[in-house]
Structure 1
Amino acid sequence: MTVPSPSSSSKGEEVQRLFDTVPGYYDRMNRLMTLGRHQAWCRDVARRAQVPAGGALLDIATGTGVIALEAARRYPDAAVHGVDFSEGMLAGARTKPGADAVTWQFADANALPFDDGTFDAVTHGYLLRNVEDAERVLAEQLRVLRPGGRLVILETCPPRGLLRRPVTLGVKVVVPLLGQLVARDRTSYTYLEESTLGFMSPEQVGEILRRLGFVSVAWDRRFLGTHMIVTAQKP
């Protein structure tokens, strides 16, 4: 999700308030910033979740519900839950075609309102860069997963290698400019540029996952190294 940078003293409350302002242009901006690849990545996240017949999937920070809706289409006999702590984003998700197949719910990623071992898969897109304590949030996801359950993460990450400098320059210029032209919200998309370039690498996310007890940790980089899909499993 893409919001203006909040103050460190009240990050959760500020992020929540700011998310409520973006649903109207959120999907369009994601399409533009990824040159139309965002939907395909969300389909890939749903595919990698590998929900068994009659199973259950939790999509955290569901936003406008792109991943949750893809999961509901792929696993029509599964129970799909989409949770977010922005009522504005949830309201947008509930209006989309197929929304009746998903259970939408207000929830905080730091303290999920579900019992231990409830879900066969947990997914999320662009969650970790917007929380204060990524390790705590990932530990909650481990808790609600069943043994053998899968975690699939879509996130931004800083580019590397020979393309690092030109891609970094492009992100710094293009993302805030698109925010100004399309959303009339340069501040929010300046924050996206900063969080994309300043977030953890796949290796760092993988280290946290292994430390928490996840196994089979793997990742792919996408879009000139600025995005990653990370998978892991609960033993």
Structure 2
Amino acid sequence: MIIKDQIQREIILEKVPGRIVSLVPSQTELLFDLGLEDSIAGITKFCVHPYHFKSVKTIVGGTKKVKYDRIRELQPDIILCNKEENTREMVEELEKIAPVHVSDIFTIKDSLDLIRQYGEIFSCRTDASRITDKIEHRLRDFREYIADKPVLKAAYFIWREPWMVAGGNTFIDHLLTLNGFENIYGNKERYPVVELKKIRLEGDPDLVFLSSEPYPFKEEHAFEAGRFTHHAKTVFVDGEMFSWYGSRLVKAFDYFKMLRERL
């Protein structure tokens, strides 16, 4: 089988991969939902879904730094990466061990394409179609739900010290737009460092979102942000719903509706 991954790298697979190393948390969850639990040999320490994986699967490191010897010992047939989550240097080193598939996700369409491609690679097209059908149905329903909701200006924070936000050309920005939120940093680079004291000059948001990941924001951080945001409402949001793609999207739209009702 010859395929191209989402950054157009050609990959040659002699058979359906039976041993998988996944270095991306949302893709690990997708593999499980595709019925591939027994094929998953290695995961990262950040692969927290499903919960029991951390005790039954081999942890090979994080998303930016892995133990290559441990991965080599697992004898994988394929290693799954992501352009944003993992580094080019990692991919080049991992290619010495096994074929490497790299995803690149900016939109829901990209996510659906990935699910379908996994269906082909791992010979689980029926399960892949089941998931994509659910996502597409719930997406249509959500578009109808959100159509008459007012557009609100928002800032989506992912880190503190320094304060960092989700900018343009990101999956988070794509989902913010889908939710009827105008990202005040959407015209900036993907994950810019910003000055909190200048947030009103940058766009004076109606909403300040503090994501649950990768930084563990707490109440004191909401108070800190509130000193500079004037009228904006500060809201803690589930970062997995805004940044995890794949089968997580099946659950995301109900969460987005719940979030809107809270505002």
- TM-score using structure 2 length: 0.31
Q: Greater RCO between the two (CA within 8 Å, min separation 6)?
A: 1
Larger radius of gyration: 2
